[in-house]
Amino acid sequence: GEDVEQSLFLSVREGDSSVINCTYTDSSSTYLYWYKQEPGAGLQLLTYIFSNMDMKQDQRLTVLLNKKDKHLSLRIADTQTGDSAIYFCAERPTGYSTLTFGKGTMLLVSP
Amino acid sequence: EAGVTQSPTHLIKTRGQQATLRCSPISGHTSVYWYQQALGLGLQFLLWYDEGEERNRGNFPPRFSGRQFPNYSSELNVNALELEDSALYLCASSPTGTSTLEQFFGPGTRLTVL
């Protein structure tokens, strides 16, 4: 079965880089997603990566995947106060259509 | 393009009552997923509908049920409400025929059971 773990809280200063970490347990090929949830809102898909990739970059976001350790990270460069939100890591093994989410990491960006 | 919409935004019920939550997917999406986001528990998968059929179900009791209509909109019904059903219920939709199966989420319905 799948289990996705995340640290619960991260605090950074505006302009710094943020790194949010996630570990997953499923051993089959899988898609891994990062979602952002702002207060009172639904989830916004930020990016995703397939488990045969090592890295994906999209503007200020960089996703790194360590397949051996089943460790996924989301790096946000030049973090802004508007990046303050809860970030969810999610996993979907190929052949399945449902996502398994971590409990979310609350990112707090201070000026 | 309109996103996933959900109604109502907030719903207040008492124990033992029934709640009905509604979701309209993005135009062209045939799959609808329901998730429960309860405090401290993260997001838990509830139900998946595709082409009008229930395709998968999470680890929830049978009093959580739903359906998908011919226009692909969906309804989630929760019978015999309990206090611990208080949560944000999120609906997501995805297109068919794509291997990535990105799920796009609505803003949620906040259900409070008193």
* B98 → chain A, closest CA residue: A97
Q: What is the pLDDT of residues A69-106, one digit of tens each?
A: 889 999 999 999 999 999 999 998 877 778 889 999 99
The answer to whether the CB atoms of B92 and A43 lie below 8 A apart is yes
CA distances from B112 to A66, A93, B12, B82, B83 (A): 40, 33, 5, 10, 8
Closest CA to B29 of B98, B107, B77: B98
Closest CA to B58 of A50, A49, A2, A28: A2
Asked if B50 is an interface residue toward chain A (Cβ–Cβ < 8 A), one would say yes
- SS3 of residue A29 by DSSP: coil
Question: Which residues of chain B make contact with A103, given a CB cutoff of 8 A?
Answer: 40-42
Looking up tokens 């909109």, which residue turns up? Answer: B73
Residue B74 has pLDDT above 90, yes or no: yes
pLDDT, averaged across chain A = 90
The answer to whether the CB atoms of A104 and B107 lie below 8 A apart is no
Q: What is the pLDDT of residues B92-110, one digit of tens each?
A: 999 875 566 788 999 999 9
Residue B12 pLDDT: 98
pLDDT above 90 coverage of chain A, percent: 64
Residue B97 pLDDT: 57
Q: Cα(A5)–Cα(B110) distance, rounded to whole angstroms?
A: 25
Q: Cα(B3)–Cα(B1) distance, rounded to whole angstroms?
A: 6
- Dihedral, A104, A33, A1, B91 alpha carbons, nearest 10: 70
The answer to whether the CB atoms of B50 and A98 lie below 8 A apart is no
Closest CA to A31 of B98, B43, B96: B98
- The residues, ordered by sequence, that sit 6+ positions from B1 with a Cβ below 8 Å of its Cβ are B26, B27
The answer to whether the CB atoms of A42 and B31 lie below 8 A apart is no
pLDDT above 70 coverage of chain A, percent: 96
Asked if A111 is an interface residue toward chain B (Cβ–Cβ < 8 A), one would say no
